[in-house]
Amino acid sequence: EGTRPYLLGGNWKANGTLATLRALIAEFNAAGPIPANAEVVIGAPFIHIPECLSSLRSDIEIAAQNCSLTGPGAYTGEICASQLKDMGVTWVILGHSERREGFGMAGEDSDLVARKTKIALAEGLKVMFCIGEKKEEREAGTTMDVCASQMKPLADILSKEDWANVSIAYEPVWAIGTGLTATPEMAQDTHASIRQWVSDNVGADVASAVRIQYGGSMNGANAAGLLAMPDIDGGLIGGSSLKMDFFSCINSVP
Ligand code: PEP
């Protein structure tokens, strides 16, 4: 809406091979221009980041899908924020529900996600900070309690200046990868509550400037309705970002 440029993030997760992603990059590169009021970022697997940096059109920025809680050092298997920044990565997706869940490993709690966010910002990365409720939580009417508890450690740890480089990705867990999208009205309602929470807990200036992306089965067919809503400032797009449908989402910005 107005002064907030739309932010369209793709989240490739652990999908693709070098060959399939090269083919997709070629298609993205051949697609038309990106609307002037849209910022586009692809969250690539760590190993595919160099290929994206060298081959993907320069008007699409690159995000990592996670970063370490540590700095550089003896942390086998970790990738730290300063290393991402050094490569030319400009964004990182943090606190995705899949990482919070942990898929069989220890999941990430809101305190940890907030600390990772602080580190990433300190290294000069921008952060898509993911929040969102599960199906049972929506049904129990606790959606905003869940979102608030996920944002509280972040509000406690960030300075006002930090918020300039944060986008909140509201991703109802029941809508991720399920084909079930929140209706534009349902999403708008939660986005407005999230913005109100930021206003009450961080500041009205931050609340009016912060982007709030919607995520959860967004695609070229439903993006226009969602993006038309006053508090929906973009999308975080999983499945559709692995196809040319991603550009249909991008071209759906009002
Ligand atoms: C996501 O994982 O961030 C996401 C929104 O996935 P999908 O678009 O596939 O639901």
Mean pLDDT of 179-185: 92
- C-alpha–C-alpha distance, residues 99 and 106, integer Å: 9
- pLDDT for position 3: 83
- C-alpha–C-alpha distance, residues 250 and 142, integer Å: 31
- C-alpha–C-alpha distance, residues 143 and 172, integer Å: 9
213 CB near ligand 1 (under 6 Å)? no
Residues 109-144, buried b or exposed e (16+ Cβ, 10 A)? ebebbbbbbbbbbebebbbbbbbbbbeebbeeeebb
Q: Which atom of ligand 1 is nearest to the CA of 176?
A: 10
The predicted model scores a pTM of 0.97
**Residue 249 in this model has a pLDDT that exceeds 70:** yes
- pLDDT for position 143: 98
Mean pLDDT value across the chain: 97
Q: Which ranges constitute the DSSP H helices of 43-123?
A: 49-55, 81-87, 97-101, 110-122
Percent share of the chain, pLDDT over 90: 97
16 CB near ligand 1 (under 6 Å)? no
Q: Write out the two tokens for 55.
A: 């081959």
pLDDT 10s digits, 195-234: 999 999 999 999 999 999 999 999 999 999 999 999 999 9
The two beta strands, 126-131 and 60-64, are unpaired
